[in-house]
Chain A
Amino acid sequence: MNKLALNWNPEVIVDFIVAAIGIISAILTYIKPKSKKIPSLFFIRLAIWSMSLMMLIDGISLLIVSEELGILTGIFVVLGTLFFIIGVNYIMKESYYSFGFTLTLGISILFIYLGFQPGAIETRIQSGYVRLPWIGLYGDLGLLLIGILEIYMLYWGVKTFHNAPFLLKKEALLFFIGILLISPITFLFYLLYIYEPIYILVSDLTTFIGILILSVSIIIEPKLFYILPFTVYRIVVKDNRGNPLFDYDWSESNVSENVFIGFINAVQLMSEEIMNIGGLLDINLKDGILILHESENITVGLVTSKSSKLLRDSVIKFTFDFEAKFQKQLKESSHDMKEYGAAFELIEKYFSNFPSRIIPHKSHPLLLTDKLLKLPASLESDLKVLFPDEEEYNYIKSEIFRAPESSAESFISLYNEIKEELEKREKEQNGEPNNVKMI
């Protein structure tokens, strides 16, 4: 082909840049997250690929002024929109289907049919260069499909930002700004393009900047992709005699490990017939799912908002690795939780993608664990006499740090007061010849 015959224009260049950035983003969404088998992400990635290819083909069609390739861009718009809707549907309800999907599918069939009718695309001079605009009903349906895609994208962005835990809020804001640029702002300029073709360039540029920002946010924090698909709450490991060995929370929990293990023991007893060694069981709770996996020596319970193959696989792998890592301790039947502390490394290995919600907001009140709290020496020695049991001593210590100042002193004085009166009464009882006792 003669180089001089190519229709180089600003739109072609912008199209190629946007396509390149889009393809890089699609690759990033595959490389960055550690777990890649999430259907929702798979379809969103396909949507990004489709839209990037659409931009690439659009650029090529303009470059070589090919109406046939122009029609092909429409097919990629259809693919991008449908894949994105499927992705969002999977996030929201673990199914590809929704009314919006059916409606979009219907519009897409009509759109593709119209694309192959004469006059769907025309070669025109617009804004001083040769363009291939979609014409008539074909153009209107194309606009509608892009509009639907933008609405779903905005919905995804808003939901992700809204549900982002405190720790990811900053990155989620960046992500949301990217989405705002790609969806409503781009679409606004796309609407203006109907009246003034030059706005297609602005629309492409906002898409480009939006994708760039989106990609940066994903590079900084791949966990953004895991905010919506499911919320992971807690994992607990117990031995087969019911002792808790390891407990990890992704969100704040008021249920102690002993109570939670008791619950798992009860569930396990009830499901003995279903759940043999090596078995995996999903139990529907009021606000989530309990995935239970039993191996030779341990049972692992994971509480999550939804069940998924990815989570079940992660639980199975975690169980096997836990058994292998703590073989010695399990053989010795040790149930000291401190000995299993290194299981945090397995959490990092299998569950690091899932965002933590353990800090719900910036004013989340904190205290040091009672073991690290230090009391004045004299108070400490007094309290140790009153509370010889270490667990109880630590409990009172943590209470003292939460109580108003001087509570510890007034407690000791009340303790002594009651002790003295009990002693007095005892003496009186023993000394009274008539055995006069009021109560």
Chain B
Amino acid sequence: MRYNIIKASEVLENPSFQGVLEIAKEIINQNKVLDTEMLYNIAKKKLNIPRKGLLSIIQTLLNRKILVEGSKYTRDTVMKNPFRKMLYDFIKENIGSHFSLIRKEINFDEKGKIASPGRLIWHLEMLLKFNFIKKLKYKNYTLFLPLNINEHEGIFHFILRDEINLKIIKKVYELKSIRGAEIYKEIHEKRELVYYRVKNLIDLELLAIEGENNENIIINPKVYKLITKNLTNS
């Protein structure tokens, strides 16, 4: 029997093709890695089709894209997806990114189509699964960090993404010590916005209080080096 002369429309109805497809489905459903040899060996045993005919069936299924090339992802192959790679590079370059930021910056997939939130989250999940990135919950934000960045640094980068936070840190760093009540004047921002953020930064141990009446704000000595490094780089 020559399988390759079967009419296109009849392919899927042909019992031999159906048999091979069923075997392929079974193997995949058992979560095994399907390859040509495995499909060939099992189909040969179960369906008793001659070698040439069976190979011809597999070839036809590949030609008609019913079977496609592909294997289970490994840490090496998962990054072959260009969109995933782009996402990973973005997270590496923008430490402490959160979903809204990522979504804002990475709008299109590798084919130039708008990437849906679901697709974006799927790729983030794959990067998490294969330990390329880690996630960190900070307040109402899930932050994504490259694996080599510690949580404290991740939060620090996240905080500094806010313009007012950055202004506060820069001013305190510049003046070494400043009265808490004076900061908003120095950076020309609304008092209530600054007050809220200063409190946050103290809670995060990025700023510290000093002075007899706890009036002065300084850079927390524990993170002084980290802040110096980042402010110098920025």
Please tell me which one of the listed residues A341, A365, A392, A410 contacts residue B69 in the complex, with CB atoms under 8 A apart.
Answer: A365
Q: Given that A396-B122, A402-B72, A415-B121 are contacting pairs, would A407 and B192 also be in contact in the complex, using a CB cutoff of 8 Å? A: no
Known interface pairs A344-B64, A345-B8, A365-B33. Does A396 touch B59 (Cβ–Cβ under 8 Å)? no
User: Is the pair A344, B192 in contact by a Cβ cutoff of 8 Å?
Assistant: no
Contacts of A398 in B (CB 8 A): 68, 70
Report chain A residues within 8 Å CB of B128.
Answer: 410, 414
Complex CA gap A404/B131 in Å reads: 13
A422 within 8 A of B: yes
Contact A404 B25 (CB under 8 A): no
A417 adjacent to B142 (CB under 8 Å): yes
1/0 per residue A385-426: CB within 8 Å of B?
Answer: 011010010011011011111010011001101100110110
Interface residue B116 (Cβ < 8 Å from any Cβ of A): yes
A359 engages B8 (CB within 8 Å): no
Interface positions, chain A 347-400, Cβ under 8 Å from B, are 348, 352, 356, 358-359, 361-369, 372-374, 386-387, 389, 392, 395-396, 398-399
Contact B116 A367 (CB under 8 A): no
Give the segment of B34-42, B167-175, B218-226 that binds chain A: B34-42
Known pairs A345-B7, A358-B62, A436-B196; A366 contacts B162 (CB<8 A)? no
Q: State whether A170 touches B99 (Cβ < 8 A).
A: no
A321 is an interface residue with CB less than 8 A from chain B: no
A392–B109 CA distance with the chains assembled, in angstroms: 11
Q: Looking across the interface, which residue of chain B has its beta carbon closest to that of A248? A: B63
Residues of A within 8 A of B24 (CB): 366, 368
Contacts of A367 in B (CB 8 A): 28, 34, 67-71
In the complex, whether B152 has a CB less than 8 A from a CB of chain A is no
Cα–Cα distance between A415 and B31 once the two chains are bound (Å): 24
Find out whether the CB atom of A411 lies under 8 angstroms from the CB atom of B28. no
Whether B25 contacts A366 by the Cβ 8 Å rule is: no
**Could you tell me the distance between the alpha carbons of A342 and B7 in the complex, rounded to whole angstroms?**
7
Bound-state Cα–Cα, A359 to B59, Å: 7
User: Contact: B59 with A358, CB < 8 Å?
Assistant: yes
Of A256, A348, A368, which contacts B5 at CB under 8 A? Answer: A348
CB 8 Å contact bits of A103-137 with B (1 = contact, 0 = none): 00000000000000000000000000000000000
A249 close to B (CB within 8 Å): yes
Q: Which residues of chain A come closer than 8 Å to B142, judged between CB atoms?
A: 414, 417-418, 421
The answer to whether A364 and B35 touch across the interface, beta carbons within 8 angstroms, is: yes
**Residue B63 contacts which of A356, A407, A439 (CB distance < 8 angstroms)?**
A356
Chain A min CB distance to B1 (Å): 14
A140-176 residues at the B interface, CB under 8 angstroms = 166-167, 170
A2 in contact (CB, < 8 A):
no
Cβ-defined contact, B118 with A415, below 8 A: yes
Asked if B8 and A366 make an inter-chain contact with CB atoms under 8 angstroms apart, the answer reads no
By a CB distance below 8 angstroms, the chain A residues around B121 are: 411, 414-415, 418
Would you call A311 an interface residue if the criterion is a C-beta within 8 Å of the partner chain's C-beta atoms? no
Q: Which of chain B's residues has its CB closest to A166's CB?
A: B36
| Residue B55 at the chain A interface, CB threshold 8 Å | yes
B-side residues, CB < 8 A to A, are: 4-5, 7-9, 21, 24-25, 28-29, 31, 33-37, 39-40, 51, 55-56, 58-59, 62-73, 98-101, 111, 116-119, 121-122, 124-126, 128-129, 135, 139-142, 161-162, 165, 192-193, 196-197, 200
6 pairs, A vs B, C-beta closer than 8 Å: A252-B69, A367-B28, A401-B28, A414-B142, A421-B99, A438-B165
Please name 5 further chain A to chain B contacts, defined as beta carbons within 8 Å, in addition to the given A341-B64, A365-B69, sorted by A numbering.
Answer: A252-B69, A345-B8, A372-B21, A421-B140, A438-B162
Q: Which residues of chain A have a CB within 8 Å of any CB of chain B? A: 166-167, 170, 248-249, 252, 256, 258, 341-345, 348, 352, 356, 358-359, 361-369, 372-374, 386-387, 389, 392, 395-396, 398-399, 401-405, 407, 410-411, 414-415, 417-418, 421-422, 424-425, 428, 434, 436, 438-439
